Amino acid sequence: MSEIKPSDLSPTEDSGEVRDLADFDNLCLSIPSQPKPRYAVTVAVSSRALFNMVDDRKIYEEEGVEKYVAHQVEHENEPLKPGAAFLFVQALMNVNSRLRELYPDSKELFDIVLMTNNHAQVGVRLINSINHYDLTIERFCMTGGNSPIGYLKAYMTNLYLSKDAEKVTEAIEEGIAAATMFMPEMETELSDTQLRVAFDGDAVLFSDESEIIMKEHGLDTFFEHEKEFENKPLAQGPLKCFLEALGKLQRKFYAKNERLSCPIRTFLVTSRSAASSGARVLKTLRSWGLEIDEALFLAGAPKGPLLQKIKPHIFFDDQMFHIEGAKELGTISAHVPYGIGQKYHKGKLIEQPVKKE
C-alpha cells in the first residue's frame, strides 16, 4: 500500500473540492436574486388556491388528517393540477422577468409566499408541483393545522389569496388585503405578456360608505349624496393598498419609457353610472395619487360579459352575485368579504340568523 502524503490531503486548484465549490458558486449566480420583503410586493397564496386540491380535500374531510397526509406522501411525485390562483401567479412571475430585464439588481418585484395550514409532510408534493410548473416560489409557511393568518404581517403581505372564506375574513379584519378564490366554470385564454387585474369600486378599492346609503336609502338618495360630496374623497377599502403596490411597479416601467408596453394593466369595473356618481370615484383615485388604466362604469348592467372581453387574471368584487356572473363566463374571480354588501344577495337583504341568549 503506498504512503499517503500530507499534501495529498490538502485541496489544490485542480481538486474535486474546489471544483465543487466553484460549481456551487456558479449555481448560486444562475438563480435569480430574491426580492427583499421590505421592497417587494408580497402575495401570499394558499396551497388550495394555487393548486386544485378538491379531491385531496375530500380525503381530509371524510377520512381525516392521517389518511390525507399519507395520500400526499404516496403521490408526492405526481404534480398537482393548477388551481384558481395559478395563472395569476404565473402572470406575476412574467412581470418579474420584465422587471429584471430593465432593472437587473432591483429588489422591487413580486414575491410569492405559499401560506398554508398543511403539515410539513405534504411539503414535498407542493415543492415538486411548484418545480414541475417552473414557479419561482422560495418562501413557504406551513403551519401544521393552525391558522396561518397570524404570520401574514410578519411576511409583510400585500395580498392574501385563499379558498377559505373564514381565513380571508380574518385577514381583512387584521387590515390585510385578501380575497377568496373561485375557479371559472369554463377556460379562457389569458395574456401571457400582460398581468390584467380588475377591481370593483365600492367595498373593494373604496370603503362601503356610499354603498350603505344606496342599500338603506335607495338609488336617488345615493346619487344626491355622491353629487353633494363629489369633492370629498372616499375612504379607502381593503384592496386600495394592493392597487397602490401595482402602481409602484407600473411606474418603474413608465420611467423606462415603457408605458405603452407595460406588462401590468388595471381596470375599475363598477356598477356605478358615470354621469351620476362617477366623478367622485375618479377624484378619489386622483387624490390618492393613483392611476387606473381603464375605468368602466356599467350603471347596474351585468359585469360578466364585459369581463369576458377584458380577460383579467383576477377580478375582485365584494358581492357574490357579481362573482357568480363573472365565473360563469370564464373569469377567475376573487370575493372580498367586506362591508354591507355581505348582508345582501341580488339586491335583497339576507335574513341574518337570530342569536340565542
**Catalytic positions, please?**
200
Closest CA to 270 of 281, 262, 261: 281
Q: Tell me, what amino acid is at 110?
A: F
The C-alpha cell of 13 is what? 486548484
CA 110 to chain centre: 10
CA 18 to chain centre: 43
Burial class (CB in 10 A: 0-12, 13-18, 19+), 3: exposed
Interior CA angle at 240 toward 166 and 268, to 5°?
Answer: 100
Q: Which residue has the cell 405534504?
A: 122
Gap between the Cα atoms of 240 and 222, Å rounded: 22
The C-alpha cell of 26 is what? 456558479
Gap between the Cα atoms of 274 and 271, Å rounded: 9
Residues with Cβ within 8 Å of residue 23, at least 6 apart in sequence: none
**DSSP letters along 276-319, please?**
HHHHHHHHHHHHHT---SEEEE-TT--SHHHHHHH--SEEEES-
Gap between the Cα atoms of 224 and 210, Å rounded: 11
Closest CA to 316 of 178, 199, 145: 199
Residues with Cβ within 8 Å of residue 80, at least 6 apart in sequence: 51, 52, 53, 56, 125, 126, 129
Closest CA to 299 of 238, 223, 187, 190: 223
Is residue 186 within 8 Å of residue 180, measured between CB atoms? no
Give SS3 for 203. Answer: coil
